[in-house]
Amino acid sequence: MKAYLEDTAATERFGAKLWAALPSKCLIFLHGDLGAGKTTLVRGVLRAAGYTGAVKSPTYTLVEEYTIDGRKLFHFDLYRVADPEELEWIGIRDYFEQDCICFIEWPDRGKGFLPEPDMTINLAADGAGRSINISGLLAVKNIL
């Protein structure tokens, strides 16, 4: 499924729709260049879930954990991962065993240590907005 998101607000609105449609346990890969809107999309998901704090990219911390009304969400950013084996050291498989939603930015950096995603979202800058392409779990639902 492909669409155009005209601005940051549209990307966050898409995140809100995504939150409403996601099961309590799923793995979502986020692809896109720096500044493509990956963290903006996750912020939209979190705002829809009721989270009011700051939402930042976990580029330096590798993972940010959120618990909202008993639901867990983990936001990973693997941009700074030099070797996929580093994911084993942080116990990444333990995260996936939980009843949680995991968003992973730069999943190619974890090749060999990450399971297959339930959904893949590709974001790309496109003029003032961004284009989005979704495959997997919700590609058959019209959430855009």
The predicted-structure confidence for 16-75, as pLDDT tens digits, reads as follows: 999 988 999 999 999 999 889 999 999 999 999 999 988 988 777 889 999 999 899 999
Q: Which amino acid is present at 72?
A: K
Q: Summarize pLDDT for 1-30 with one digit per residue, the tens.
A: 888 999 999 999 999 999 988 999 999 999
pTM equals 0.91
**In the prediction, which pLDDT does 84 show?**
87
Output the CA torsion sign for 75, 34, 112, 22: positive
What local confidence, expressed as pLDDT, does residue 35 receive?
Answer: 84
Q: Residues near 83 by Cβ (< 8 Å), separated by ≥ 6? A: none
Q: Where are the domains of the chain?
A: 2-113+126-134
Q: What mean pLDDT, rounded, does the chain reach?
A: 90
Q: What is the mean pLDDT of residues 84-90?
A: 88
Instruction: Give the model's pLDDT for residue 1.
Output: 84
What end-to-end distance do the CA atoms of the chain give, in Å?
A: 9
140 pLDDT tier (thresholds 50, 70, 90): very low
CA dist., res. 44 & res. 100, Å (int): 17
CATH class name, domain 2-113+126-134: alpha beta
